[in-house]
Structure 1
Amino acid sequence: MRISSLLQCVQGHNCWRVTYTKRRICVLKGSTVDISCSYTHPTSYIEQGSFWFTQKHPVDVRSYPESAGRVEYNRNTENHHTMTITHLTEKDSAEYKFRIITTDEGRFSGLPGVMLTVTDILLEMDPTSVSEGERVTLRCRTQCTVGLNPTYIWYKNGQSLTNPVTSYNSLILDPVSSEDAGNYSCAVEGLERILSPEETLTVRYGPKNTSVSVSPSGEIVEGSSVTLTCSSDANPPVDKYTWYQKNVTSPKASGQSYSITNIISEDRGEYYCEAQNGRGSMNSTALMIIVAGKQISVLTAAVGIIVVVLVLILCLSGLMWFRKKNSTSTSNTRDTADDGQGDSSPVYDNISNMAMTSTAAQTESTDDQDDVHYASVHFSHSKNQEVPLYSTVQLHQPQKQDQDVQYAAVKFNLPSSATQPAAAQAAEVDASEIYSTVNKPRAKKT
């Protein structure tokens, strides 16, 4: 015998009846739901079993392959039944009905059943891309109302927002700024572990925080090279970089990096860059480039100092030697001059009368003899070279004259070849000896 719940009960308690706690239930995907009911049957029938089903033909949901391990029954009190479903999915959305089985083939299903809706929590953003300063609204949405007056929690980049501006299920950002950009999600209070899929908020803005960096860092010297790099935060990204030098009207270069090679002193100054995109432009703060002179290593400087000192010592030594030499040369010149004056007199002077005696008689007799004089005359050259000159002077007997003849050879001092002209040198050879004839008168005999 099949009895429908629509039939009227006789005497109120002696009839077939199923009463559900809720007729509609909305739950979030991944959560757990309890579906409960209370029931009665005629006392003449003895209950033999009960179960929940969803299909047209009543089959226990616990036998469904997709429900295996996720459905449990619980009888807390008599005539009260609860079904628990865990890890809900959207496929679990259906109408669940409770069925009683009794003796005497008693069958009764509580119709209509409980409508279960499993929904995903969704986040809607309007608009999805905004410019800085505009308004944006984010809405946390479900296909059905989850609970009574639920409270929503908002997250940005996985962190809950503190003191957000909300209106029921909406988050309002007005005006929106570049700091508001990020990934947003929402959840229902009490079900915080179930988050909506993330939505990305994109905020367009012009260049910000534009700055210049230099590489390599440290002191910049002449002849070296540096690279300036421009950085800026912008959305959309910067599409044009321009380099300027302060107080110079024309741009220096374009591009995110600017290299200065073989730096000279004229390159010193303040440099800055301009960043541009579709939302605007911004100049960086100026970077001062100071160009120092070429550096000389300590070793090079020490070597240079040592070389200079050695050169000075050599110069001083040479100067002292030169002065000493000049002093010695002057002294020698003076001595040579003195020697030259002394050499003008004969070095050797041996003049004798061959027939001279110490007596008066001899003197008279020797007057008739030839007088012979020997003389050695020596003159010095300017280089202290001694060229001795020997001369023999002999007094010959006059043949037809009454006088003696004296021959003399005389040589004079000549300057050195280094100081006299070539013609004078030739004259020295040709005229180094002078011969002269000297007639010596003889004394008359008495």
Structure 2
Amino acid sequence: MALRTAGSVLGVFVWSVAVVLGQDGWSVTYTTQSICTLKGSTVDLFCSYTYPRGKVTTTFWFTEWGTGVEPEDLGQDPEYAGRLEYHGDKKKDCTLKITDLRERDSATYKFRLLTDQEGGKFSGSPGATLSVTGLQVKLTGGYQDKTLTCSTTCTLTDNPTYIWYKNGQHLDESTSPQYKYSVSNDYDDSYSCAVKGHEDLHSPAVCVQGQRCYRVTNTKRRICVLKGSTVDISCTYVGYYSTTSSFWFRSDKSTPEDLTTDPGYAGRVEYTGTYKGPFTLRITDLREEDSAEYRFTFKTDNFDWGHSFPGTTLSVTGLQVNVTPAVEGQKTLTCITTCTLTDNPTYIWYKNGQRLDEPTSQQYSSNILVVLGHSVDSYSCTVEHHEDLHSPAVCKYELNYYST
């Protein structure tokens, strides 16, 4: 099962009546049979298992199983690259975490284990069915009195609280996905909705009258990049009449402050773009303290875009090499980050300062020569196009110090 290291992300944790199916000492227990969660969020598929005898040699999850062939490990599927974390073990826990969910991840997930005994294979059915949905605002009603519905393709698990935004300003919260209102003379208004705890996964804005309304659309909801690099955070916006001001700000400030006037960003911030954009914030020489949510606001002669509308969350990370034991005589090196780097980068490994042709993945397994508890060779990692931002080298330290 492919592993990765990730920062903290809001996830869906589901508890319900367990489903157990097994025979002759074999069983897989799924905590829930059905989960509906948001596109872009994280989900934990909790499960546990038992087996009659022997030693577990292989564990993995799969979604499809053809007749007469072994099911394929999702950890080897490029569609899930960098998004799977197996939190289970080879004893009884088989929990799987999937991050950055996509609608095409909707499927029934099953767990399979293999042991060192003859015929020692088992797959747990019926599995856990995952449905992934986005949010859409639907309008019904007459010309004046309307009902807004925060619509999904499945019923979200855990009875969430819905949040409503009007023109970028926090408007209301309710456990109902519906919001009723009367249209005033402000026909340029837009509305969007989100789920509490997942505000960055809000719906697209919907105009109350036709297609003419104020709105801001972020190009990306989350970005993870390397310390020392440069990032572009973009949005498009629509504002009628003359735009009198527009700027980016950090959401953790008590009052919105134009980043170009913030001393902490002096000489590192640049705005590019025009009306209807994309309007881009560029930050250079990134620091870990730059990790924050960045929002965009604008003003016209008679309108201010609200300051509470979710923006883009930026996470800034360094690189570290983590060493764990693999098979006897080998070690596995992992180029770890505190968040999952955007755009699935190509990893580059160095041995004694010389670039290795292979591998280009986040992990590197090799026979590492160890003398008196110390590595004779040094290893470091980086990612393509950022070769100057490599990790510290693992060299002449007790390897157990790095073990997890």
Query: Aligning the two structures, in what range does the TM-score lie when normalised by the shorter sequence?
Result: 0.3 to 0.5
In the superposition, the TM-score normalised over structure 2's length comes to 0.44
Larger Rg: 1
Q: Which has the higher contact order (CA 8 A, sep 6+)?
A: 2
Q: Could you tell me the TM-score, scaled by structure 1's length?
A: 0.40
Greater helix share, structure number: 1
